[in-house]
Amino acid sequence: MYYYFQKYFSKILLFILFCFVSSANAESLKFKNIKGRQYLSFDELKKNIQNAQFSWNPLLLTAQIKHEKNEVRFQVDSSFYISNGDQYSLEYPPVFDSGNLYIPSALAEELFTGLGLPVHYSFQKKKVQVKSEKSGNTPNGSLDFIMIDPGHGGKDPGAFGVSGVKEKDITFEVSRYLQNYLKKEFPLLKIYITRDRDSFIPLERRSDMANTKLKGNSFGLFISIHCNSALQKSVHGFEIFYLAQNPGSDEDRKVMMRENDIVSSGDPDIGTIESYLLNSQILAESKVLARQLNRTLMTEYGNMIVSRGVRRADFRVLRKALMPAVLLEIGYISNDHEVQVLQSEAFKKNLASSLSKGIKNFIKYRPVI
């Protein structure tokens, strides 16, 4: 009994101290429940988000928020919003209730990241904690390394595909090929891989391995490689995810639950505590990385595996990364045709080439606060 008390006491103490410090330094914005959905007051956001320009047109029921060169626009009862000129969908729209404008939590998170606001934030059950930061708190130097993470491994096989193929085997083969290609394509960069054999690594440990490579003002990229699976064999395509606490759809939630529900020897609670306030700049960069990779992959090997788009979810493997990080579901091993493509040399070469071009585009368009 004493052993277990001693083992968990420090973790409980860490949690209490962290919550106390975070609460003391962060503003708390409470959710309003409207028809069973979580909304944030537009006026409350306006009061607590500094250095941004808010405008509201009561006749057209449209709102606009600007921060430096970034802009987000949306309309009441519309399930679409515009972020820096591009249109994106919402699971449920902004509403006008009791004389006030309210926006869904997913759109609020888009404001933090899409506008490039210098804040840390955390979405909780009944509130959002927001802490303003000074600009320039993230490395603005050059790209120093890329960490490739082959999903699953060892006692964790991942998903099983047709003919018994295992996700962990495909992700490893693809990642090794990608590692070798990127070493040739980027001779000045350090190219790492989280596992070089069929071994088990807890999710929390994978991003830590990348974080230890950070030095000075330089930065790295974390790319986690996975395969998807569905009960319907007809489902196919690749997806690219970036970290967000508000999954984009029910389908995104299902993928998140599958990837997070892994046999782990680590402590998931500590990972959550240490990432209590998420860095909006890192998440903004992750979003740009995901979108640049998706555009390039669509162009380079869209005829081999089609894109199902850029999505967002709260993946444990990405949550602790202190750098731009994405998770690629490179195809469905439950699809008869796609599982053959995933194992082909032609696909591996195209994937490696496409990702390298996407990384170059990301560097070109990287948002820096």
What's residue 317's pLDDT? 86
pLDDT tens digits, one per residue of 88-132:
889 899 999 999 999 998 899 888 888 888 888 888 888 988 888
pLDDT band at 26 (very low <50, low <70, confident <90, very high): low
Q: What pLDDT band is residue 163 in, cutting at 50, 70 and 90?
A: confident
| Residue 269, pLDDT score | 43
Segment 173-195 shows an average pLDDT of 95
- Spell out the domains of the chain, with CATH numbers in brackets: 27-132 (3.30.457.10), 143-365 (3.40.630.40)
Q: Could you list the beta-strand ranges (E) of 287-339.
A: 307-313, 325-332
Let me know: does 175 contact 150? Beta carbons within 8 Å: yes
Mean pLDDT, rounded, for 296-318: 88
The residue-averaged pLDDT of 305-323 equals 89
Instruction: Say whether pLDDT at 51 is over 50.
Output: yes
| Lookup result for tokens 């320039």 | 136
C-alpha 83/C-alpha 133 separation (Å) is: 22
The pLDDT assigned to 255 comes to: 45
Please state, in angstroms and rounded to a whole number, the distance separating the CA atoms of residues 122 and 276: 6
Can you tell me the distance from the alpha carbon of 194 to that of 205, in angstroms, rounded to the nearest whole number? Answer: 9
Asked if residue 248 has pLDDT above 90, the reply is no
Residues 348-354, mean pLDDT to the nearest whole number: 92
Question: Beta-strand (E) ranges in 27-142?
Answer: 27-30, 32-34, 37-41, 53-57, 62-67, 70-75, 80-83, 86-89, 95-97, 100-104, 119-123, 127-132
Residue owning tokens 């869904």: 104
- What local confidence, expressed as pLDDT, does residue 21 receive? 39
Evaluate whether 154 touches 262 at the Cβ level (below 8 Å): no
**121-136: per-residue pLDDT in tens?**
888 888 988 888 765 5
pLDDT at residue 40 is higher than 50: yes
Mean predicted confidence (pLDDT) in 190-217: 93
At residue 316 the predicted structure's pLDDT band, cuts being 50, 70 and 90, is confident
How confident is the prediction for the chain on average, in pLDDT? 84
pLDDT average, residue stretch 135-153: 83
* pLDDT tens readout for residues 8-24: 434 443 344 344 434 44
* 136-140, 211-215, 305-309, 347-351: least confident range: 136-140
* CA 175, chain centre distance (Å): 19
φ, ψ dihedrals at 84, nearest 5°: 50, 45
pLDDT of residue 339: 95
- Could you tell me the CA-to-CA distances from 180 to 7, 146, 161, 194 in Å, in that order? 42, 12, 26, 14
